[in-house]
Amino acid sequence: MDQRITMVTLGVRDLARSRRFYELLGWTAREASGGDIVFFQLQGSVMGLYPRPALAEDAALHDDAPNAQFGGIALAYNARDKAEVDRVLVEAKGAGAKILKPAQDVFWGGYSGYFADLDGHPWEVAFNPHWPLEADGSLKMKRG
């Protein structure tokens, strides 16, 4: 298996509402032919929004805890500097996100905060001075 993630699919409670949230962040949606899933082309990968019950069924999982606060995963957006971290958190809040942790200097030498999207998926927004972004916005870990 190659070391890569090509797609992340988020199980959402209201597909149209979640689509609008990500569009308010400036993302461009692409619908599948049936309209029951929404895709966003990212830089080198894709994020999908799919109804939560359908995603659980597709993965042969029970969705017994719809009110669980943490599903054991966090998505991340790496920023070019601290100001971009602050700006993204403001944009997310303006789109309806809940700020989970305001941006702050962190123990590993960076600066980060968290927001939750409309379905509670946590997003870390971080500036990592040890991992500068490439010109195209991609993240490549430096050797060391």
Query: How far, in Å, CA of 9 to CA of 1, rounded?
Result: 19
pTM value surpassing 0.85 = no
Please report which confidence band the pLDDT of residue 61 belongs to, taking 50, 70 and 90 as the band edges: confident
Domain ranges of the chain: 1-62, 73-133
Over residues 78-93, the pLDDT tens digits come to 999 999 999 999 999 9
Q: Which amino acid is at 11?
A: G
**CATH top class, domain 73-133:** alpha beta
CATH of domain 1-62: 3.10.180.10
The residue with tokens 């993204």 is 88
Q: Would 1-62 and 73-133 be classified into the same CATH topology?
A: yes
